[in-house]
Chains A and B, each alone.
Chain A
């Protein structure tokens, strides 16, 4: 398996623009997680899905952030409009189960909002 795939790997955009991050989880994994990592706040869980259904989005910082999982092999995280404070590395991770199961992380998308 190729592991968790994320695109793009790097994104530079201007404040106010819409940003869409994409993730393909490992086949057969029922859980998908979106994280954000910054120097100041470390790694934070934004939202996670189970069988394509959002379960907990309490980590989503604002209404500007939205996530979807239209099928088992694809998820998006959208920021609209983007702001400089959204600059971070965004990771997608997947796992087969929630308990007693490690999460497999993708390589991340490094986002810079100017």
Chain B
């Protein structure tokens, strides 16, 4: 069955450092991969989308890579800030885009 794995352990980093979150998947050939941010008690908020034929995408302090051979995406937050503390969800959508499946998320804590 399709499976998405994100590091279940929380990631703790110091302010100013780069946070790197990992998303691995199996039994899936996604056409798109998305990253969302979710704060406690709120719905997920879209951050970035990357297509299967793209290797990297950037938006301000965020960078996403997508390696369809390794079946892995890396999500980087550079110059991290305490306000970046949240849970980050990886989501995959198939070629038809007809169903998006989400990973369980990784909790990020940025210490001042």
Q: How many angstroms between the C-alpha atoms of A55 and B98 in the bound complex?
A: 9
Instruction: Kindly state the separation between the CA atoms of A75 and B102 in the bound complex, as whole angstroms.
Output: 22
Any B CB within 8 A of the CB of A61: no
CB contact list, B5-52 vs A, under 8 A: 31-32, 34, 41-46, 49, 51
Among A11-19, A63-71, A80-88, A100-108, which stretch is in contact with chain B?
A100-108
Q: How large is the interface on B (under 10, 10 to 19, 20 to 34, 35 or more residues)?
A: 20 to 34
Range for the number of chain A residues in contact with chain B: 20 to 34
Identify which of B43, B100, B105 contacts A91 (C-beta below 8 A). B43
Nearest chain B CB to A61 CB, angstrom units: 15
Contact indicator A98/B98 (Cβ below 8 Å) = yes
Q: Identify the A interface with B (CB < 8 A).
A: 4, 42-45, 48, 55-56, 59, 91, 93, 98-100, 102-108
- Can you offer 17 A-B residue contacts whose CB atoms are under 8 A? A4-B43, A42-B105, A45-B101, A48-B99, A55-B98, A56-B99, A59-B99, A91-B43, A99-B93, A100-B97, A102-B34, A102-B49, A103-B46, A103-B100, A105-B43, A105-B45, A107-B41
